[in-house]
Chains A and B, each alone.
Chain A
Amino acid sequence: MPDPSLRFVVALQAEARPLVERFGLEPVAESHPFHVYRGDRGWAIVAGLGKAAAAAATAYLHLLSGGETGQVWLNVGIGGHGLRAVGDAFIGHKVQDAASGLCWYPPLVVDLPCPTAPLLTAERTEEEYALPWVHEMAAAGFYPTACRFSTSELVQCFKVISDNPEATLTRATSASLVERLIRENLNRIESFGTALLGLAREAAAPAADPPGYREIVSRWPFTVAEQRRLRRLLQRLAVLAPGSPLPLLASPAAAGWGRDVLSLLETRLAEIPIVIARLVGTPSDALR
């Protein structure tokens, strides 16, 4: 399984530019329905305005980037707020679709680089901020779609305030302002993304192949059920005798079929003492 990486979903090219520079992303050359960028640290897609566009771009990027689950998904963008200053940044702790009333609550389990706020996704830009929420146009399309491809702890929304009652969209929201607002928050976005990548690696660890698994399935034939048993036997072996060599790899003739391998591993496991913890006063080297 490849190392998890970042997937940015933004609405505007001006939001993408600072991310593309900071994360070393390059435009994907082929013709696509969306502008797409990729690099060693991840991918970015420019969705266009609206929740339907955000949902479509999220699904498109998932497939284009290889369809791997367990990646970090970040919706980065601008929004309006009735009380907050332009340039303030928030992570969404609640996403509500204004049209349907549906709600999602992104679980926040890492240190956050900025305060949190509820996000209200509207169909069109608003200049009346009825609730003390971040008013924006993408999160309710992005969030439930990305949660189909990753666990919800890894799917987050990062919003920068671009307009408020004193600085309305019509007067203030030029492309250069949007770009500056995102650029000024790049350190926060990067530290949040890094923390989420750590979380993604932790989430991926239990599903990793145990030592020897790939080599064994490439040498002997196994049914699907036998592969599951093999995986579990090798996991147990890695716990009970970490780092110990697998003799059957050194002398493959010892087993003719996959089931012979399973049988050899079970015999080996039965010989290993089960030690949950060291007895008080017992030196650690006396365990085995």
Chain B
Amino acid sequence: MLYVEEEILSHPRTLQIRGRFPDDEVIPCARYGEVFNRRAQSFRLQKRRPSLILARKHRNFLQETPAGFGFPGTRSLAFSHMLNCIYDCRYCFLQGMYRSANYVVFVNFEDFQWEIESQIRGARGGVPLCFFSGYDCDSLALEPVTRFAATFVPFFARFPEALLELRTKSTQIKSLLDVDAPPNVVVAWSFTPEEVAEAVEHLTPAVDRRLRAMSRLAERGWRLGLRFDPLIYDESYRERYRNLFQQVFSTVPISSLHSVSVGPFRLADGAFRTVVRLYPEEPLFAAPVAEEEGRVTYPPDREQEMVESVTADLLTYVPREIFFPSLSLPPA
């Protein structure tokens, strides 16, 4: 099923996306909220067969990230051209965010760009801006359909004073291989150890396939990011992360890395309760957790031990200058 808001039925990006699904029935709706996230919807059931909804975003194109997130000395803004993710990572806050598992794609990229450009122009001579994509969705996973990166990478290339991070677990890099790598665009991949990824990151490309994609971009001069986020605990976590680092750094050249981060497992308490209600049988949630200030984390001692040991192992591979733990706080 392809749901389309009536006012964008003839938007060029709508027509382009519809062209990819010629056999799908188009169901017009007045606003995407009629279909998405209404009461009496089950995220778990819809995740079996999500539909695509094309919509127009009207306001709030950019969101300030919480204090402490981002690169030191910069101002961080997040934006999402899409709501929900085609992957099914059990630790992700999106599992508890919406009642609906359908994908909403905002087709009016031009309005996002207008807002981004005015922010960049307004910040000239002041604090540099960093734009983060990939929190309410994966930045590249639906690239063949949305052409998001194909549109936004050339756009950001016009503004070398601003930085764009595309955060992803995807291997959909064709759009990136088709263009020269702008120095102000960072493509950042998230990783958990291979066995953990297989257990809790459903529908995602395998770790080695992500690494191959990174390697290909490195060869073409792209600046890359590594986000070991969230750190997932189990009895063998140290060995798992050591194995992961060995795997990663035997494939990805250090010289291609723009930034690296490590982030503990965290969910807002409401999101945690929702996701446990959805998947009580999930081993990830059987570990002991602590609730503090509206957030659910591993107990503080365990979290501290994990962050310290994983960071120590990581810093045997990467220089401290490109290690930014503040890139692993959730922005919203």
Known: A274-B287, A276-B199, A280-B194. A147 touches B40 (CB 8 A): yes
Please name the residue on chain B nearest to A93 by beta carbon.
B27
Closest B residue to A199 by beta carbon equals B45
A108 to B29, CA, bound (A): 16
- For window 264-285 of A, CB contacts with B under 8 Å fall at 269-270, 273-280
Give Cα A232 to B243, complex, Å.
33
B39 contacts A147, CB within 8 Å?
yes
Q: Which bracket fits the contact residues of B? A: 35 or more
Q: Is the CB of A153 within 8 A of B41?
A: yes
**Which listed residue, B42, B102, B286, touches A274 by the CB 8 Å rule?**
B286
A18 to chain B minimum Cβ distance, whole angstroms, is 28
Min Cβ gap B275→A in Å is: 10
Assembly CA distance A277 to B244 (angstroms): 14
CB pair B40–A148 under 8 Å, yes or no, is yes
Q: Identify which of residues 240-286 in chain B touch chain A, using a CB-to-CB cut-off of 8 Å.
A: 240, 243, 276-286
**Which one, A93, A151, A279, contacts B41 given CB within 8 A?**
A151
B35 at the interface (CB under 8 A from A): yes
Would you call B235 an interface residue if the criterion is a C-beta within 8 Å of the partner chain's C-beta atoms? yes
Interchain nearest-CB distance for B57 vs A (Å): 20
A151-B234 contact in complex given A93-B25, A274-B286, C-beta closer than 8 Å: no
Dominant SS among interface residues on chain A = mixed
Considering the chains assembled together, what is the distance between the CA atoms of A232 and B282 in angstroms? Answer: 12
**Does A152 lie within 8 Å of B240, measured CB to CB?**
no
Complex contact A279–B25 (CB within 8 A): no
- Write the chain B residue with the least CB distance to A152: B40
Interface centre among B100, B195, B233, B288 (most CB of A within 10 A): B195
Given contact pairs A103-B29, A206-B279, A239-B281, A279 touches B287 in the complex (Cβ within 8 A): no
Which residues in window 213-244 of A have CB below 8 A to B?
232, 235-236, 238-240
Which of B46-54, B182-190, B221-229 is the interface stretch? B46-54
Q: How far is the CA of A205 from the CA of B239 in the complex (A)?
A: 34
CB proximity of A231 to chain B, nearest CB, Å? 9
Closest residue to B199 on the A side, CB-wise?
Answer: A277
Q: Which of A104, A110, A206 contacts B281 (CB 8 A)?
A: A206
A105 part of interface (Cβ distance < 8 Å) = yes
CA distance A150 to B42 in the complex (A): 10
CA of A113 to CA of B222, assembled, Å: 48
Are A153 and B200 CB-contacts (below 8 A) given A103-B30, A105-B35, A236-B286?
Answer: no
A152 with B44: in contact, given A235-B280, A277-B234, A280-B194 (CB under 8 Å)?
A: no
Is residue B1 within 8 Å, beta carbon to beta carbon, of the partner chain?
yes
Determine whether A107 belongs to the interface, using a CB cutoff of 8 Å to chain B. Answer: yes
- A274 and B41 in contact, given A105-B29, A239-B281 (Cβ under 8 angstroms): no
Known A-B contacts A93-B1, A152-B40; A202 and B283 likewise in contact (beta carbons under 8 Å): no
Known contacts A93-B1, A277-B198, A279-B240; 19 further A-B pairs (Cβ under 8 A): A105-B34, A105-B35, A107-B41, A107-B100, A108-B1, A109-B46, A147-B39, A152-B41, A154-B45, A202-B44, A206-B280, A235-B281, A235-B286, A273-B234, A274-B234, A275-B283, A276-B284, A277-B199, A280-B243
In order of increasing CB-CB distance, the 6 nearest A-B pairs are A277-B195, A277-B199, A239-B286, A276-B234, A109-B49, A236-B286
